Structure 1
């Protein structure tokens, strides 16, 4: 890992004009807090409403279920997707109640634990800015601004498009590319001259669907499976830490 303050982005990034970063799991170490809050909310619901098939009654898995069904999606879309994977199709008001329970749990844990940014991501953003490449943060989460502010990195990004703004504009969630395209538009850069950095399957698909020049997958979990899954769904390259993209 290169710790030089004058490190530059690797050549594949230098011809770009902008990079759009997902927030949870890419910029901040918040995915684990989201996953823990979802587990509490989902496991409580599953205990009260057991799925029809025995094999569907296992608890929410903070790694596999989170990445497959929840990560990168809006709260309502993620809640509905996970419950459907267990054979459950409750009415919209019930899905909303589960999502709101998760939101309360996440907010409480955020207040208690705070949040950190990944050092490798911070170093890459500094390098991109030195190279004249503009940077945006994008997230379906309504907490994105608070997360970046608590991690003391909000000022590193020229643009932030968060869940509050996405709701105001009526932007559909990932794997639709609208969130990333809006971030690129605000930077004044076409998707064909920009990159997307994502750790979720839905986010990687959104980057590919949006016609971005480069889609970078971030697979922080041990083992090859997560990285291979991101490549199958449209990532051009996969790294474990964004410091790997420093020359």
Structure 2
């Protein structure tokens, strides 16, 4: 069955020159690791506040809080957004006269420390279906990019053994260096398209987060595949996904070479 866009038209892969993949949750099975690192970070912070008499302890919810406030966002944006949901505000950067003070930056650093510790302990796995799909795209002559809001994207791709599958990588380090806003702003995807030398309208995006799918829509990308690993099919469609699959193994490419089509298995 052909995959159709919102207007009921078949979307030919022949009109797409490149495919941009979100890393965590699409390429690698690290979304749960990010969520666990965020939970440890925020729960420690919230418990300390509760012990100091600043309100009852209400822990970070791995499903609802992660999806709503940090999934797909840059590190600092995730800290600000989640804390705002609890009516908490922290200073932005480190305070030279108070090195022990908690800030948006220090909480983000703590989260990164926990994330990298989990990676060192347990490693990283790439989704086999995604790896196979990327290989097939590249065999057809399409270029590919890996995009992540995380500053640890390079380490994750290397640990998963998939660095060579992507012509371009745009990550949280690039976002900080060039002041690129996080998702749902399309800046990260647009930067990947720029580096691939392709117009957004001639590129597809593969995303698992609501913010990422919305970013692809806002950026005018030619086709968006939503990967539903968290039971949010309708939300992905609402944010702009042209098609939603549970796994990229559900997508295949026809044997047509002149105008190949994305088809559902």
State TM-score, norm by structure 1: 0.89
Query: What is the SS of the residue equivalent to 2:80?
Result: helix
In the TM superposition, what is the alpha-carbon distance from 1:52 to its structure 2 partner? 7.5
In the TM superposition, what is the alpha-carbon distance from 1:53 to its structure 2 partner? 7.7
Residue in structure 2 matched with residue 13 of structure 1 by the alignment:
13
Deviates more, 1:167-176 or 1:153-162: 167-176
Write the mapping of 1:74-93 to structure 2, written as runs, cut at 5 A. 74-93=74-93
Q: Please, which of 212, 222, 227 is the counterpart of residue 233 of structure 2?
A: 227
CA shift digits 1:125-150 (9 cap, x unpaired): 01111111111101111111111111
- In structure 2, runs of 5+ residues without a counterpart are 1-9, 94-102, 254-265
CA distance in 1, matches of 2:133, 2:13: 11
Q: Flag the structure with larger Rg.
A: 2
Write the mapping of 1:108-119 to structure 2, written as runs, cut at 5 A. 108-119=117-128
Q: Pairwise CA RMSD of aligned residues? A: 1.8
8 A Cα contact 2:206 2:225, kept in partner = yes
Residue in structure 2 matched with residue 4 of structure 1 by the alignment:
none
CA distance in 1, matches of 2:39, 2:88: 16
Residue in structure 2 matched with residue 5 of structure 1 by the alignment:
none
Residue in structure 2 matched with residue 68 of structure 1 by the alignment:
68
In the TM superposition, what is the alpha-carbon distance from 1:192 to its structure 2 partner? 0.5
Deviates more, 1:115-124 or 1:159-168: 159-168
8 A Cα contact 1:14 1:131, kept in partner = no
- In structure 1, runs of 5+ residues without a counterpart are 1-9
**Alignment partner of 1:245 is 2:254:** no
8 A Cα contact 2:76 2:104, kept in partner = yes
In the TM superposition, what is the alpha-carbon distance from 1:87 to its structure 2 partner? 1.9
Q: Please, which of 130, 133, 147 is the counterpart of residue 139 of structure 2?
A: 130
CA shift digits 1:76-98 (9 cap, x unpaired): 00011011112222222422221
> Aligned pairs, how many?
233
Residue in structure 1 matched with residue 37 of structure 2 by the alignment:
37
CA distance in 2, matches of 1:200, 1:68: 10
Task: Answer 1 or 2: which has greater helix percent.
Answer: 1
State TM-score, norm by structure 2: 0.83
Query: What is the SS of the residue equivalent to 1:92?
Result: coil
In the TM superposition, what is the alpha-carbon distance from 1:15 to its structure 2 partner? 2.9
Q: Please, which of 171, 175, 195 is the counterpart of residue 186 of structure 1?
A: 195
In the TM superposition, what is the alpha-carbon distance from 1:114 to its structure 2 partner? 0.8
8 A Cα contact 2:49 2:55, kept in partner = no
CA distance in 2, matches of 1:70, 1:110: 19
In the TM superposition, what is the alpha-carbon distance from 1:165 to its structure 2 partner? 2.0
CA shift digits 1:97-126 (9 cap, x unpaired): 211111111111111111010011101101
CA shift digits 1:176-213 (9 cap, x unpaired): 11111111111111000111111111111111111001
